[in-house]
């Protein structure tokens, strides 16, 4: 969203001999603030950066973003040399909300790139990713 506050021009309109001045800057700021408030309230709780763990040790950070009704997770940082080599890899695709803090989609192994069906549940700042046959992981929200 572009917000231009450089214009200090005034809109003048004559009504029955009276001149009314309305600051376009004030109108722009008011509209921008109300739009930002609505956008902030609409953010889904799964959106953000999550710390993953392996053997109770921090492994990688995954950024989950939303496009329409679908969520995608990408590794944005690694806590180990191996995890750092996967930065930029997508690990969650086609994730959709099922209601009540539940989601479903595909979890992709960054080493091989194949995806398996996954169930995700949220409870506060904790995400549990469950993949049949592979087991489950608990992630903590950090941003």
pLDDT by position in tens, the chain (length 143): 444 333 333 333 344 454 444 444 444 444 444 444 344 445 789 999 999 999 999 999 999 999 999 999 999 999 999 999 999 999 999 999 999 999 999 999 898 888 899 999 999 999 999 998 889 999 999 99
Beta bridge partners of 97: 103
Instruction: Spell out the residues 6+ positions from residue 92 whose beta carbon is closer than 8 angstroms to its own.
Output: 62, 64, 71, 72, 73, 105, 106, 107, 108, 118, 120
Q: Quick check: helix, strand or coil at residue 82?
A: helix
């Amino acid at each position: 969203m572009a917000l231009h506050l450089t214009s200090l021009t005034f809109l003048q309109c004559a009504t029955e001999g009276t001149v009314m001045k309305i600051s376009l800057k004030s109108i722009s700021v008011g509209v921008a603030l109300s739009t930002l408030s609505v956008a902030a309230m609409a953010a889904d709780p799964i959106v953000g950066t999550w710390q993953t763990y392996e053997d109770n040790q921090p492994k990688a950070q995954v950024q989950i973003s939303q496009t329409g009704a679908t969520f995608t997770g990408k590794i944005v940082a690694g806590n180990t040399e191996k995890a750092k080599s996967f930065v930029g890899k997508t690990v969650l695709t086609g994730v959709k909300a099922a209601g009540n803090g539940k989601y479903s989609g595909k979890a992709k192994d960054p080493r091989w790139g194949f995806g398996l069906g996954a169930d995700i549940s949220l409870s506060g700042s904790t995400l549990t990713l469950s993949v049949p046959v592979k087991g489950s992981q608990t992630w903590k929200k950090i941003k």
